[in-house]
Amino acid sequence: MRILVTGATGVVGTEVVAALLAAGRPPDLALTRVARRPADPSVVRWDIGAQPPPGELAGHWDVIVHAAASTRWTLSREEAVTANIRPLRAVLGLADRATHLVHISTAYVAGARDLEDPRGAPFDGYRNGYEWSKALGERIVRETHRGPLTLVRPPLVVGRRNSGEISRFSGPYTLLQALVSGLAAVVVGDPDGYAEICPVDDVAAAVTAAVLSGPPATPRTEVIAGGPAGLRLATLLDITCDTINECRAEAGVPPIARPPIVSGDSWDRFFLPLAEQYLSPFQSRAVKLLAMFQSYTSMSAPFTPTWPVAAPGEVMAASVRHWAARKPRLALASPVPWRMIGAPEARRPDAAGEGVSPA
């Protein structure tokens, strides 16, 4: 069986390659788009979709695991096409009718869409360019690939179940830094809303099972999620802050405060106008970036998993501990209170030089 893995140096791809190796079936070839030279000579660099495929890719592939993608939520439509759609079409050019394509998507392609919200217009109602490109990618795969197909849909991906290890801190880890630095003056969402996470090794396990179990007779979709046992936002925030404070206590550093949770309606009506009027450009960008978590922390119903995530609270705690161990300067930093630079109170000189906190 000849196996190809794309995105082999990314968060999911790194774990997939390791899982296949542990299962005794390492990929025959692994691809990366990063500019730096991979340390492993079996990893080949290919700027997928922008360059012709290298000669090593010639011939039939029994399995292609397509994990290469940009997961940035701030992608414009054009950037999402360049980063995720063109590479997908190039990878599909390597497959034939006998190739089992294991395509990494996201659970949120099946989430709620707001087709009437003008803010969603550039992405057909999806919440951001990444989510839109994954939904479009699934449609292209279903319409174009004539061979066996497995779609793997994880939610927000964090570190390994037991150790919290992960190849790169991105996505939900933005929230950890924001909590410690003080940038997260509030957390936007529904306290009882589902906040789906999964450990990266669960994603790799689902992919490895798909590869080793053989091609499905009909297209198959694996949804990796906690389902009804998934974390609610308030619980996730409690676990995150408590674990951060445990790490800070071990280092003799004062705890951080748990920020309040505000509803999306209050955020839109009060906090965003406030940010536009009074916050610095840097603070305003931070506020808008954190606002992107809103739709992922306000789910009224959980996903229906085919690959259930057990003990998500323990998974989150392990991920926070690993982040704190790897990023001690961030984890042990002193939070800086918000100050509104445009308000009269902020402009008025006083002995302490204090302004007004929006929270």
Quote the pLDDT of residue 121: 66
Q: List, in order, residues 6 or more apart from 333 with CB less than 8 Å away.
A: 180, 181
Beta-ladder partners of 232: 194
Quote the pLDDT of residue 347: 39
Quote the pLDDT of residue 181: 87
Tens-digit pLDDT profile for residues 283-306: 666 666 666 776 677 788 899 999
The CB density around residue 266, as the number of other CB atoms within 10 Å, is 13
Spatial distance between the Cα atoms of 136 and 24, rounded to a whole number of angstroms: 34
Residue 157: its H or E element: strand 156-158
Q: Of the ranges 108-112, 162-166, 178-182, which is most confident?
A: 162-166
What predicted TM-score, i.e. pTM, was given to this entire model? 0.88
Spatial distance between the Cα atoms of 107 and 90, rounded to a whole number of angstroms: 23
Tens-digit pLDDT profile for residues 19-67: 999 999 999 989 888 655 555 667 888 999 889 999 999 999 999 999 9
Q: Supply φ then ψ for residue 101, to 5 degrees.
A: -95, 120
Quote the pLDDT of residue 349: 37
Quote the pLDDT of residue 306: 97
Supply the CATH classification number for the domain 3-153: 3.40.50.720
* Burial (CB count <10 Å: 0-12, 13-18, 19+), residue 107: buried
Q: What is the mean pLDDT of the chain?
A: 86
Which segment of 33-42, 93-102, 219-228, 318-327 scores lowest on mean pLDDT?
33-42
Mean pLDDT on 176-188: 84
Which segment of 26-40, 76-90, 186-200, 218-232 scores lowest on mean pLDDT?
26-40
Give 114 or 75, the one with higher predicted confidence: 75
Quote the pLDDT of residue 348: 36
Quote the pLDDT of residue 345: 46
Tens-digit pLDDT profile for residues 318-357: 999 999 999 999 999 998 876 655 544 443 333 333 333 3
The CB density around residue 33, as the number of other CB atoms within 10 Å, is 21
Quote the pLDDT of residue 218: 96
Mean pLDDT on 103-118: 73
Beta-ladder partners of 218: none
Quote the pLDDT of residue 339: 64
The residues spanned by each domain of the chain are 3-153, 161-196+227-301+311-342
The amino acid occupying position 25 is R
pLDDT at 281 over 90: no
Quote the pLDDT of residue 352: 35
